[in-house]
Amino acid sequence: MTNFPFLSVLTLLPLVGAISVACIPRAKAELAKIVALIWSLVVLVLSIFMWVAFTVGSPDRFQFHEKYAWIPSWNASFTFAADGIALVMLMLIAVLFPVVILASWHDVDQSKRSAPTYFALLLAFEFTMIGVFAAADVFLFYVFFEIMLIPMYFIIGSFGSGQKQYAAVKFFLYSLVGGLFMLAAVVGLWVIGGHTFEFSALVDAAKTFDQDTARWLFLGFFVAFAIKAPFFPFHTWLPDSGGAAPAGAAALLVGVMDKVGTFGILRYCLPLFPEASRWFAPAAMVLAVVGIIYAALLAVGQNDLKRLVSYTSIAHFGFIGIGIFAFTTQGGTGSVLYMVNHGLATGLLFIVVGMFVARRGSSLVSDFGGAGKMVPALAGVLFFAGLASLALPGTAPFVSEFLVLLGTFSTNKAYAVIATVGIVLAAAYVLWMIQRTTQGTLNPALEDVPAMKKDLSLREKVVVAPLIALLLVLGFYPKPVTDVINPAVEQTLLDVGTQDPGPSAVADGKAGR
């Protein structure tokens, strides 16, 4: 089973699916949706087989290794491999895409836009997302890092709402500028790393890098990843893009694509530039903590539901950032787990917000009020998604947030204490949103909106049920995921050359080893 080319097949499946869906005539919209859903489910099934085939505790950090010739003169190849960090992100992608496709069933107005094109773009985006997490060649990673902009640009610009063209261009330009920084760093890495893009070879070569050169290269990668994440002050593209994108696409934007930034820091910045990572850590921690407080304060003042959720994501990425640069096993494991749990919780929150917006025809909080009296089940799901987003105990984000704060406190007490203020603010903006949207006196205008009289449909229940189930299961029993994450995090800390000052985040569920 381990000899099966999981990663290359997983990468190509959505691309083939995208081409198949794009070839379906515009008039056969329902067929295009069904085909897209089937392709995404096939990817999910294959991902589950790959998860089962992954050997926890293997002496080999990277598994499912594949290598195919590509550009011999550059020593660039189609190299794929996955450690525990990449594996959990690939599973997150596999879970979210069929959910989003089903949630987006009625998002495209066939009189104005082509449904086959929209769903083909979603599958094309899945192809790029799997590729970027599966790549084990730095140049291949860069290629996927750049081309993933294309499907999302067209999704926002063609199928979004409001200032969609402005948001799409801003999203593209920010990411493109970050990509140029990375390109310069990739070229420099190839020059000083022995004319190779092979990740494992570059990790070995990193021990000989000149200190100043390594710091500049680290900065090139870090700026690109900080924009993608996004970290403060590179965050301004996300509220515009999240507010303009269709709800399902926005769920993928903040649930999956943003994780490329934090994944890139863990996968490339830390192992390739260990000294530079330690040197830049205090500045990165400051940016992360400022982002937690700043984004939370902005979220409190938002009147647009989709922009509000986008700002909450910026705050959450601050928590991921402090966990990474705390250089502890607990902080690192908590950060990776946070990436997964944030994708589930914020993905659910965006999808449910999209259901409200589709019914009301508006994303403004002030256009709701008392909506829970008309759609109680939908309001209940929004309440659950909000509580999960603020990391209520019993939901999956609580475990990851607790690990991040615990791991950070053991090395950087001040940052951990300041970050806890963000938890209080999270309660404020989430409960404020729920109160003004679903509670209180019924807004009379809602009674004149026929769609607001329709509660959760069967399709919508199927959409939210798996995400709710995963958030609850991982909230009480995260062991299957932490078992996979821990070895990769520990190896990353070894690459950085830091020593864990406290008990490591435990794979066996006990306090210490």
3-state secondary structure labels for all residues of 466-509: HHHHHHHHHHHCCHHHHHHHHHHHHHHHHHHCCCCCCCCCCCCC
Determine the residue type at 393: P
Instruction: Give pLDDT, residue 512.
Output: 40
Measured CA to CA, the distance from residue 374 to residue 378 in angstroms comes to 9
Calculate ∠ Cα 312-318-324, nearest 5°. Answer: 140
Contacts of 230 (CB under 8 A, 6+ apart): 174, 237, 238, 258, 261, 314, 317
Q: Give the position of tokens 């209080």.
A: 424
Determine the residue type at 182: M
Roughly how many angstroms between the first and final C-alpha of the chain, as a whole number?
A: 31
On whether the CB atoms of residues 39 and 123 are closer than 8 A, the answer is: yes
Contacts of 338 (CB under 8 A, 6+ apart): 316, 319, 320, 323, 397, 400, 401, 403, 404
Sign of the torsion formed by the C-alpha atoms of 330, 336, 341 and 346: positive
Measured CA to CA, the distance from residue 350 to residue 463 in angstroms comes to 12
Measured CA to CA, the distance from residue 14 to residue 42 in angstroms comes to 9
Measured CA to CA, the distance from residue 210 to residue 187 in angstroms comes to 16
How far is CA 310 from each of CA 79, 307, 396, 490, rounded to the nearest angstrom? Answer: 34, 5, 19, 31
Instruction: Give pLDDT, residue 382.
Output: 93
Calculate ∠ Cα 200-145-73, nearest 5°. Answer: 55
Question: What's the whole-model pTM score?
Answer: 0.92
Q: Could you report the average pLDDT of every consecutive run of 10 residues in the chain (513 residues)?
A: 84 95 91 94 96 88 91 90 94 95 86 88 95 93 93 91 88 90 92 88 87 92 91 86 89 89 92 92 92 88 87 88 91 93 92 90 86 90 92 92 90 88 86 88 85 87 94 94 92 82 48 39
Measured CA to CA, the distance from residue 99 to residue 78 in angstroms comes to 29
Instruction: Give pLDDT, residue 161.
Output: 83
Burial code (b: 16+ CB inside 10 Å, e: under 16) for 283-292 equals ebbbbbbebb
Contacts of 187 (CB under 8 A, 6+ apart): none
Instruction: Give pLDDT, residue 428.
Output: 86
